[in-house]
A and B are shown apart, each in its own frame.
Chain A
Amino acid sequence: KQEVTQIPAALSVPEGENLVLNCSFTDSAIYNLQWFRQDPGKGLTSLLLIQSSQREQTSGRLNASLDKSSGRSTLYIAASQPGDSATYLCAVIPGRRALTFGSGTRLQVQP
């Protein structure tokens, strides 16, 4: 059974810092990996989708990498801003089924 772990569970940084969120999964037979953002009480917003054949994806200040062989993905956020404060969820897509989610990293960016 696929298990997804995210470290750290919570992170507080001052504005302007670069930071890395980590995601690991136990079964490397994934189709894709997706990073989401969730604001309190709201639904999920997709940030980046990495195909299994890709090693990274970039969108603005965000960069996500994928290493299937080691079962790891990282989300890099450059020059963090208070508006980045949210919970970041990593999810792996096994192909025919829905995503398996990690428990998330709660990020607080202090102004």
Chain B
Amino acid sequence: EADIYQTPRYLVIGTGKKITLECSQTMGHDKMYWYQQDPGMELHLIHYSYGVNSTEKGDLSSESTVSRIRTEHFPLTLESARPSHTSQYLCASSPPPGDTQYFGPGTRLTVL
């Protein structure tokens, strides 16, 4: 079974706060991804990484930023949260290109 973790699972914060959503995997996968999903809507890629010190923006424009200092860790940061950031954020990782992507349980973010 895949070992990919996300914390926190649920987060409710006020507008203007800085937050970091954590994602870590213990499988040694080089590729990691962040997706955003509004309730009942499609998943959209917002960030991805091919390895340490490699990050790229995805298809959906996002005000968040990511970093990849260690292989197992791919945190996502919002410098100043807004209600429009309310969504579910899913992290995933995969071995070499084209193979199965393993997903974490997600973080459900609500910005008041």
With A89-B43, A98-B48, A104-B42 known as contacts, the answer to whether A43 contacts B90 (CB < 8 A) is yes
Inside 8 A of A36's CB, which chain B residues have their CB? 103
Provide the B36-70 mask, 1 if CB < 8 A to any CB of A, else 0: 00000111110010000000001100000000000
Kindly state whether residue B84 has any CB partner on chain A within 8 Å. no
Partner of B105, one of A32, A42, A89: A42
Q: With A and B bound together, what is the CA distance between A10 and B33 in angstroms?
A: 28
Chain B residues, CB < 8 A from A101: 35, 42-44
Could you tell me the distance in whole angstroms from the C-beta of A109 to the nearest C-beta in chain B? 19
Query: Once the chains bind, are A42 and B100 in contact (CB under 8 Å)?
Result: no
**B28 at the A interface (CB under 8 A):** no
Given known contacts A42-B106, A43-B90, A95 and B98 CB-to-CB distance under 8 angstroms? yes
Asked, given contacts A98-B58, A101-B43, A103-B42, whether A46 binds B101 with beta carbons under 8 Å apart, the answer is yes
A contacts, CB < 8 Å to B: 31-32, 34, 36, 41-46, 49, 51, 89, 91, 93, 95-104
- Residues of chain B at the chain A interface (Cβ within 8 Å): 6, 33, 35, 41-45, 48, 58-59, 88, 90, 92, 97-106, 108
